[in-house]
Structure 1
Amino acid sequence: MATSPGGGGAGTDGSPGGGRGLPIGGEGKDMVHEMLAAAGPGGIAQVQEACLMPYPLVRHLLGMLEIMDISRVEAHRAVLQRAKERLLSRVAALSGRDPGDKARLERLLAGSFTYLGMADMREVPLAVMERLERVPAQHLKQLAADTEVFKILPPGVQRQVWEYDKNLLQSDALPLVGAYKYEIATYMRALAADEFLPGVAAAAARAAVSIMAPDRGPPGGGGGGERGGAADADSLAGLGGAAKAGAGAGRGIRRGGGAGAAAAAAAAGVGGAHMLGGGGPGGGPGSGTVPGGPPPGITRKILRKGSRITQALKGMVGSSPKIYNQIVELCCVKFRDAEGLYVGVRECSYAALRAQLLMALHDDNNPVAARDRCHELAWTLDAGIRAGGLSDKHLEKLGRFFEDIMEAAEESEGLAAGGGKRRRGAAGPLPGGRASSRAPLDEAESAGAGGHGGGAGGVVEPLRVLGDAGLVLRDPSALHLLAAQVLALLHTEVVAAERLPRDVPDMALLLRLMQLAVEARSMMRDRVYRYPDPDKAVLHDLLPLLAAALVDSHAAAVKAAGAGGGGGAAGAGPAASAAPFGPNLLTSPVGPEPAALQEEAEVEFPDAGTKTRVCGALRGNEVARRLMQTFALERLARGDYMTAVKFLSLLARLLVPACLAVEAADFASTLAARLAELVKARRLGPGSRLWVVAVDNLLVGAVDAHTQTHEEVLRLLLAAALPTPDGRPPLLTPGELDAYLRLTLENSRRSRKRYKKFSGGDALARFPMCLLASDIGSDIGSDGWPGILALKLKGADGVRSVYEMFRRVPGINPDVAPALFEYLAETKQ
């Protein structure tokens, strides 16, 4: 540490010896060394004389204290302590905002700054810097250069140093940003692709009740009196095998978007978010508590309060917009510059961190959150995630957010072209800038909702906000929410209302948001921003195809229910005739059991052109793939195994291995967990069409996407290789099991190697900020399972502990399963 002028000496208050400064730290050591080297033992007296306190009575007082057996060291320390206490009490009485006090503090800092390197004296400059609102720049430069001194600075001073030195901020924040993807609760939530299926089930329940109303016939049958017109060439008729000509025109009734659907979801028997402790029907985030049901899962607010990384970054930000913008920029750069063609859970962790950090500041009513251009967007999405679905108010708010962006862009273009007088600021207000005149629609619905509105401020290029918005939408939970909401609208606004997807405005909005999310990285790379239209193949071909499959499923359910109870209801009136289409229709499986599906099943396309366009969309558009994956999971949860097999087969044929190994982590992890439940109940086993399509063609190839996906696939295989608790035999022989394990080990080399690199240390262990333990959360709060991270790190690659469980398989040994035992021997610690 370089020294500052004006060292210690009595001359500062007019006492004898004024004007003489003592060398401190390294300079003092050099002075002592030079005196002793030049004068030998006689140099000791010279050192004492040079360093003696400049008062006439000091020499006599020191001599008296030596007679009293008080050493000179003890005497000096006592004097130093008393002087330091008096000085610190005076510093505490000064205010950094008063001009006179500020000048005194700056002079005192200049005189004491050199003492930062001395443990006994550093309290004075630290106290002075803490009282100052802004530390002078010359001192910040020296503080940034000394990492050891930086660690002991007060948090407010550290933030000033970070604001001054961008490189230091990046070096301290980057390890935290990179480690966020390894937080247990973070990636467990990101992998829960079915966390919003309860809302879809609720929408399906409402749609089924609407379809089976007495004034409407069952799907595929003749309509009521007002439905007997000619066929509509643009309707869903003909896309599905059960959709007959004669279906009437669409109805313009707007239905709810899916919020508050816990009871209907429980009735439909769908339990989303199984990976987060939902525990059964109706569980999961946003599902609420239903009578007799399990408690809700971990909410987003609990996740960010328990996340040690999020809380540490929030501590870095404090109330500094500059530090917050730098951290957000780090998230954007890491997401933008990620290698590979496809975007996986690791890359999306930067989007999740960007949204969760913003909402963590929002929870604390931090004014920095209100300055963020995407505050209103993140707030609305967080409220929808908490509610388990997007209500009409949420959808209206999302649409208005992007309308404001496009209006601001149009005004900016008009000003650049020399257009008329502007109506707003330099480039129009950012979304949420009307907070003073328009309050948020649903403040109470958001977790930790504060009393402030959206962001404020202006930018030169309004469309650049779309890049930030796309990153917020890329949060895995937000993308799962949008995909589930599309399926919910498919039930309520397309199938039940007999409309085409292109005629539902909210459907187009959701597709545009999903398209913006998946194109955000390419926009950031090219620096060309736009608000994309829905993909035509998705809107005009894929969604009608899914709707037709739902119509077929409803028709099959109606047929099965009618065959089971139609005889007794004949002639009994409308109420009795509708009985077979009541709750039993919503909870009973559709079609055959999964183990009974042996024949190959294909999706039925209306024509070759539609097939070509849908297949092209699945190969080239992530939105199409996510919608079909979510649809397949929803059909599995519903018990419609035949439809699920059809669409899983299509995915298996079209998804290339590189896509499976990166992008499909959440889908594969959720699919494996769903199938494991069927295997444990012995409703599914090897040889069935569902097993061949899902396990052999999809899951085994997706184990490299994430170690948790790998683990879920292994648990599925383990359930098939072990006997059930009630004595039913295994479904896989040791030899067949070894063939599967050989494939999973071969396909997961890269992900296991990445995990080995991570397990080397804790990013927070090197974090320089002095935060309380309560400020950065705990393992229990963050993960929900205390100590699970330490348990996982004991394994060499994150999955060895699961492979170890296969030793329990009956009849397994190194002769019949060499791949397993070779791996266990190689990774033995």
Structure 2
Amino acid sequence: MDDVTFIQDLEEIGIHGRSTLRDILTDSFRKNSNDDQQHDNNNNKLWPEILEFQSNNGIILPSLQPMFPLLHLLGVKSFEFHKSVVEELRENLINRFEEISQKMDPNKREANLKALLAKSFPLIKMPMIQPVVMALLKNIEVVEDKYLKLLVADESLYKKCDVSVKRHIWQEHQSMLVGELSPILSEYVKEKEAIFANIKESKHIFFLLTPKQRRQNEILQSLAQMVGKNVLLYDTILQFVRTVFIHTKNPHYCTLRVSLLMELHDANITDITSMDACHKFAWCLDACIRENTVDHKRIRELQGFLDNVKKGQEAVFSDLAMALYDPYAVNFLVQTAMRILNSLITNESCPREHQTLQFLLRLLNLGLHAHEILKTQAFREPKLNPEILTRFLPIIMGFMVDDQVRSVNSKLPPDDRESALTIIEHSGPPPDCFQTFIQQDPLAAIFAIYYTAQAARQHDRQAVVRVLGSLTTTSTYNNLSHSDPYQHILVSALVQLADEFVHDDLCTLVFDEILLPALDMNSTAVHLMKLIYHLNQWIPQERLESLMMKLQHYVQMPSTKDQRTRTTFVELVQYLEKIKEEKLRKNQPPQLPTTPVANQSNQIIAGNNTNVVDSPIGGSASVRIASTTTTTTTPQHHPMMTPSPHVYHTPSHSHHHHPLPPHSPYTTTATNVTIYRYNK
């Protein structure tokens, strides 16, 4: 906005403005209009009133006075000179405020800065002065309500305030804080989900980030800056995160809750960490995840936190549960428990005899019930089903033993009969109670998922097929197997079974029973695209076509509003087309050479065709790829000469042979144009 718009603000604080200058000039003109000589010299001489106005309102610096005549001769306008001087003084003044806030005694500092603010705040809408006022507000510890109300009333001023000033506003206007939080939290979740959309990466990269790397997230750091040292704002943000988690069930909000606490811990904000009841618990758990191990000392510490929750403080169970439902915490606890199960098999022991395993199950059980605890406000530790220890985990251990027996048997000398008996004995279907467990208990469901992933990483197709059918959409507790982090674990492991996807039983289980029925759940479509990206050369062609058709139909549905899914599908289509073209190029016959005695008319004529790879998504740009179709004429030879052994009669000159281009399931052919598209 133009500075002239705010000249009236100058007059409010006693600085002569436009109206004052107009009055002075009017009075001066009336005073001097009767003097003819004075009237004749008006064009050559400034009136004394103007000189007095310039003297009173100009920059009173002796060092600058000699500059005016020189600048006037150089054609520099007085306004431009004053503007440049004001900008320089403004920067020096702002730097001076910073020095005062750091070095001056707090009592004197507040008094001096508030006095300056009272004089300058009326000019806050003037662009040239606004940075000075904002710097004053930033360095004052307690901003008066009269200033905050004016900032809240003007949205443009509110947006330009420093976050330290906004903290004062948020304490009184929590709705404005929620308005700031909503897009920030949405962006945080989108960043987490974007990791799953990286279909080129075959590993479970989501869980490869260390706690330190996760806390370097810019959004997380901005949240910590919003909190500062304000306990009230921290509590408000946590309450908002809990509310969003209740409505969405998204475990990424649990990650955010713990990561924010540990970010403040790293910044040594003791005012907040000391009042958070789950700080020490989260700190200890974070150390275990960072070191990827849990020793007896840490177990005693964690157990002490759970056992010493006092009466009247049971609400802390909701925060402890959120910390344990963080996907990184769940991943660590389950993998640690799986290692213990393997050691129990080696030592021929039972799960109920291992105290550490029992405590890990207790932690997992609390975390996996986090949403239920918050939603029902039943602040108590959920009871662990003892049959998980006595019946379900022994079933998982039995599966592991069967896998080891089959692995050892495959390395022995071939004996068809004994091998067949071994496979039959150690590859039977799971017991009936196995399905019941994973339907009714989240602990059983999470162990079934991680066991399946472990079997896939060991390249054991029989073990995967044996259990995978139990992880369908309606078979696991709250569809836990289709939650993004755990589906990411499962799909990343299945990628390592690539060459086994030539078998129809595995394809049927993975695609027809697990992924396709849940296509509209979370990021299942993206996980399916990732599998196709890495397994397309092993998946049977007819099934690949069917999968692409269904994916195309899904991304074109009006209900599919996720642009990330659409973009990922376009990336997959382009990748498959690129592979197709490379195969066609490799399968082309070598170019036939011509003989030196051939006639000039015997030359190679190349015709350029245009291939149009249409994006399967409406409105997307087509990718045009030029290809070459080569037509050759048979070289002529002298009748007494024997043709060179490398010269062959091309079938294209036979009247009974008509060469056709390679057939593609996505191809419709017209004259000189081939259009590749995935048809419905």
The answer to whether TM tops 0.5 is: yes
Closer, same or farther: CA 44–175 of 1 in aligned 2, 3 Å: farther
Instruction: Give distance in 1, aligned partners of 2:57 and 2:546.
Output: 89
Q: Does 1:73 align with 2:79?
A: yes
Partner in structure 2 of residue 327 of structure 1: 237
Aligned with residue 364 of structure 1, among 252, 264, 267? 267
Matches within 5 A, 1:442-481: 461-481=312-332
Count of matched residue positions in the alignment of Structure 1 and Structure 2: 556
Closer, same or farther: CA 125–643 of 1 in aligned 2, 3 Å: same
Is the Cα–Cα contact under 8 Å of residues 196 and 526 in structure 2 kept in the other structure?
Answer: no
Closer, same or farther: CA 130–160 of 1 in aligned 2, 3 Å: same
Partner in structure 2 of residue 240 of structure 1: none
Partner in structure 2 of residue 824 of structure 1: 616
Query: Whose Rg is larger?
Result: 2
Partner in structure 2 of residue 528 of structure 1: 378
Instruction: Give distance in 2, aligned partners of 1:99 and 1:824.
Output: 68
- Provide Cα deviations, 1:440-486, integer angstroms capped at 9, x if missing partner: xxxxxxxxxxxxxxxxxxxxx41111111111111111111122222
Instruction: Give distance in 2, aligned partners of 1:119 and 1:172.
Output: 25
One-letter code of the match for 1:401? F
Partner in structure 1 of residue 575 of structure 2: 805
One-letter code of the match for 1:603? P
Closer, same or farther: CA 8–798 of 1 in aligned 2, 3 Å: same
Matches within 5 A, 1:397-476: 397-405=301-309, 408-409=310-311, 461-476=312-327
One-letter code of the match for 1:138? K
Instruction: Give distance in 2, aligned partners of 1:654 and 1:386.
Output: 35
Closer, same or farther: CA 702–274 of 1 in aligned 2, 3 Å: same
Partner in structure 2 of residue 275 of structure 1: 204
Partner in structure 2 of residue 144 of structure 1: 152
Instruction: Give distance in 1, aligned partners of 2:465 and 2:99.
Output: 75
Deviates more, 1:477-486 or 1:804-813: 804-813
Q: Does 1:395 align with 2:311?
A: no
Is the Cα–Cα contact under 8 Å of residues 377 and 398 in structure 1 kept in the other structure?
Answer: yes
Closer, same or farther: CA 564–387 of 1 in aligned 2, 3 Å: farther
Instruction: Give distance in 1, aligned partners of 2:330 and 2:69.
Output: 77
Q: Structure 2-normalised TM-score? A: 0.69
Closer, same or farther: CA 274–737 of 1 in aligned 2, 3 Å: closer
One-letter code of the match for 1:732? P
Partner in structure 2 of residue 627 of structure 1: 447
Partner in structure 1 of residue 401 of structure 2: 551
Closer, same or farther: CA 738–84 of 1 in aligned 2, 3 Å: closer
Is the Cα–Cα contact under 8 Å of residues 13 and 122 in structure 2 kept in the other structure?
Answer: no
Q: Does 1:115 align with 2:123?
A: yes
Partner in structure 2 of residue 584 of structure 1: none
Partner in structure 2 of residue 732 of structure 1: 540
Partner in structure 1 of residue 515 of structure 2: 699
Shift of 1:530: 0.8
Matches within 5 A, 1:517-596: 517-557=367-407, 563=412
Q: Does 1:373 align with 2:277?
A: yes
SS at match of 2:391: helix
One-letter code of the match for 1:317? V
Shift of 1:685: 1.1
Shift of 1:629: 0.7
Closer, same or farther: CA 558–392 of 1 in aligned 2, 3 Å: farther
Aligned with residue 304 of structure 1, among 215, 218, 221? 215
Shift of 1:741: 2.1
Partner in structure 2 of residue 816 of structure 1: none
Shift of 1:113: 1.1
Closer, same or farther: CA 642–132 of 1 in aligned 2, 3 Å: same
Matches within 5 A, 1:197-346: 274-276=203-205, 297-305=208-216, 307-338=217-248, 343=249
Is the Cα–Cα contact under 8 Å of residues 365 and 382 in structure 2 kept in the other structure?
Answer: yes
Closer, same or farther: CA 712–537 of 1 in aligned 2, 3 Å: same
Aligned with residue 458 of structure 2, among 638, 642, 655? 638
Alpha-carbon RMSD: 4.7
One-letter code of the match for 1:671? L
One-letter code of the match for 2:239? E
Closer, same or farther: CA 527–685 of 1 in aligned 2, 3 Å: same
Closer, same or farther: CA 495–173 of 1 in aligned 2, 3 Å: same
Aligned with residue 482 of structure 2, among 663, 669, 677? 663
Is the Cα–Cα contact under 8 Å of residues 721 and 731 in structure 1 kept in the other structure?
Answer: yes
Instruction: Give distance in 2, aligned partners of 1:158 and 1:151.
Output: 9
SS at match of 2:514: helix
Is the Cα–Cα contact under 8 Å of residues 335 and 521 in structure 1 kept in the other structure?
Answer: yes
Higher relative contact order at CA 8 Å, sep ≥6: structure 1 or structure 2?
1
Instruction: Give distance in 1, aligned partners of 2:210 and 2:14.
Output: 59
Shift of 1:675: 3.0
Aligned with residue 58 of structure 1, among 56, 59, 62? 56
Closer, same or farther: CA 664–119 of 1 in aligned 2, 3 Å: closer
Instruction: Give distance in 1, aligned partners of 2:473 and 2:114.
Output: 71
SS at match of 2:229: coil
Partner in structure 1 of residue 528 of structure 2: 713
Closer, same or farther: CA 130–501 of 1 in aligned 2, 3 Å: same
Shift of 1:555: 4.2
One-letter code of the match for 1:392? H
Closer, same or farther: CA 564–668 of 1 in aligned 2, 3 Å: same
Partner in structure 1 of residue 352 of structure 2: 502
- Provide Cα deviations, 1:574-602, integer angstroms capped at 9, x if missing partner: xxxxxxxxxxxxxxxxx99xxxx999964
Partner in structure 2 of residue 648 of structure 1: 468
One-letter code of the match for 1:549? F
Is the Cα–Cα contact under 8 Å of residues 352 and 476 in structure 1 kept in the other structure?
Answer: yes
SS at match of 1:552: helix
Partner in structure 1 of residue 335 of structure 2: 484
Is the Cα–Cα contact under 8 Å of residues 130 and 154 in structure 1 kept in the other structure?
Answer: yes
SS at match of 2:495: helix
Unaligned runs of 5+ in 2: 31-46, 585-611, 622-680
Is the Cα–Cα contact under 8 Å of residues 130 and 156 in structure 1 kept in the other structure?
Answer: yes
Instruction: Give distance in 1, aligned partners of 2:331 and 2:296.
Output: 18
Is the Cα–Cα contact under 8 Å of residues 502 and 539 in structure 1 kept in the other structure?
Answer: yes
Partner in structure 1 of residue 42 of structure 2: none
Closer, same or farther: CA 528–164 of 1 in aligned 2, 3 Å: same
Closer, same or farther: CA 380–99 of 1 in aligned 2, 3 Å: closer
Unaligned runs of 5+ in 1: 10-19, 193-271, 278-284, 286-296, 410-460, 566-590, 606-610, 723-729, 757-792, 814-819
Closer, same or farther: CA 83–331 of 1 in aligned 2, 3 Å: closer
Is the Cα–Cα contact under 8 Å of residues 439 and 477 in structure 2 kept in the other structure?
Answer: no
Closer, same or farther: CA 640–719 of 1 in aligned 2, 3 Å: closer
SS at match of 2:181: helix
One-letter code of the match for 1:704? D
Closer, same or farther: CA 737–360 of 1 in aligned 2, 3 Å: same
Closer, same or farther: CA 739–83 of 1 in aligned 2, 3 Å: closer
SS at match of 1:463: coil
Shift of 1:61: 11
One-letter code of the match for 1:629? I
Closer, same or farther: CA 143–718 of 1 in aligned 2, 3 Å: closer
Closer, same or farther: CA 686–665 of 1 in aligned 2, 3 Å: farther
Aligned with residue 166 of structure 2, among 131, 155, 158? 158
Partner in structure 2 of residue 130 of structure 1: 138
Shift of 1:531: 0.8
- Provide Cα deviations, 1:676-727, integer angstroms capped at 9, x if missing partner: 3332xx344142x3333223321333443444x53442343355543xxxxx
SS at match of 1:183: helix
Closer, same or farther: CA 489–189 of 1 in aligned 2, 3 Å: farther
One-letter code of the match for 1:738? E
One-letter code of the match for 2:134? L
SS at match of 2:137: helix
Quote the sequence identity (%).
20
Partner in structure 1 of residue 290 of structure 2: 386
Partner in structure 2 of residue 437 of structure 1: none
